[in-house]
Structure 1
Amino acid sequence: MRTVGLTLAALLLLTGCDDADAGAHPQAAPSTAPAAAAGGACQLLDFPVVNAKLGLDLAVAAAATLDNTFTCVLQPRAAGSPDLVLSVSATTIGADIYTSAIQPKGATPVPGLGAAAYQRPTPAADATGPGAEVGWLAGNKRIIQLSVHLAPGAADDKATELLPKLVDLAKLIDLSSL
């Protein structure tokens, strides 16, 4: 039994990788694909535009679809925050129903965005810092929600500063969703 153990140890040493071998196995290069390549709601987003509007460095996109809702999450390459989340759902409701049933209480209306729209800061949660949210009923009968969550520990005023920038981005998305 001792011979088998020594033989296995010797084989492991002989097949091990040293620093010279490390270069023989290149690491995968980070993706430089556009956000739209992730599909879903990511087709409405463009990394350079989002980053320029919000002053962020988002570089990774992931999309999902469930029933009639399409989502997209953008994050930095090496971290989970800040993040940007976009969701788009088909609907048959009108502006009156959107305003009374969907728009959160206490949210501020946003004129000039869709058929009805709101903006609001969002408080920090367990895994995220404070954020900002813009939601609207697009003219093409879609409920769209766009939110940014900052890193845990970020100051609330940083999220509040993002609101007008997020509204500007929402207006660009609204035009592209027609």
Structure 2
Amino acid sequence: MRRVVAALTALLVLTGCDDAGASPAAATPSTAPAAASGGACQLLDFPVVNAKLGLQYGAAAAATLENTFTCVLQPQKAPLPDLILSVSATTIGPDIYATAVQPKGAAPVQGLGAAAYQRQSPAAEGTGPAVEVGWLAGNKRIIQLTVHLPAGTGDDKATELLPKLVDLAKLIDLSSL
């Protein structure tokens, strides 16, 4: 499931699809709220995200494919750091989530949804390290929040960002009820 969401998100980012998934979408200008992009962006607010994470997002794009809604936030003039939010409807419970969706080796997160995890990933080609928080929301949604940092960013910066991302996830979880 995680690979499907990641592949879908990458495809949507590369194709620049709008909510219908069929036509190019322009990034939301910095004067418009992230929610104006629709989709999962309706759960995000630039000032709140920027304050929580200490980053400067100003562009948003959303897409929908079947039962998955995504949102990508980026700085106005750079591709990274990006923030990707995906939300998918599900019928699974916490036990299946923990065994089938949660990545092996991820650390549990208390106080977030019915089941939740956090993890840090090393730098990949073209990016720096990434941090991720995923959870099964009480309203039967699988939600994943990921930040990819720019190439050359040290692992220590990702380690500092992870608890901030967990705090943002807890705010998103409350807004998705």
Task: Output the TM-score relative to the length of structure 1.
Answer: 0.82
- 1:53 partner SS: helix
Structure 1 CA distance for aligned equivalents of residues 156 and 136 of structure 2 = 27
The residue that corresponds to 1:34 in the other structure is 33
Runs of 4+ in 1 over 6 A off after TM superposition: none
8 Å Cα contact 1:90-1:142 kept in structure 2: yes
The residue that corresponds to 1:88 in the other structure is 87
The residue that corresponds to 1:136 in the other structure is 135
8 Å Cα contact 2:30-2:76 kept in structure 1: no
Unpaired segments ≥5 residues, structure 1: 1-29
Q: CA deviation at 1:127?
A: 2.1
- 1:165 partner SS: helix
Unpaired segments ≥5 residues, structure 2: 1-28
The residue that corresponds to 1:10 in the other structure is none
Letter in 2 for 1:121: Q
8 Å Cα contact 2:114-2:135 kept in structure 1: yes
Measured against aligned partners, the alpha-carbon deviations of 1:7-59 in whole angstroms (never above 9, x if no partner) come to xxxxxxxxxxxxxxxxxxxxxxx541100000000000000000000000000
RMSD over aligned Cα, in angstroms? 0.7
- 2:63 partner SS: strand
- 1:145 partner SS: strand
Task: Output the TM-score relative to the length of structure 2.
Answer: 0.83
| Bigger-Rg structure (1/2) | 1
8 Å Cα contact 2:62-2:72 kept in structure 1: yes
Letter in 1 for 2:170: K
The residue that corresponds to 1:165 in the other structure is 164
- 2:125 partner SS: coil
8 Å Cα contact 1:131-1:160 kept in structure 2: no
Over the matched positions of the two proteins, sequence identity in percent amounts to 81
Q: CA deviation at 1:169?
A: 0.2
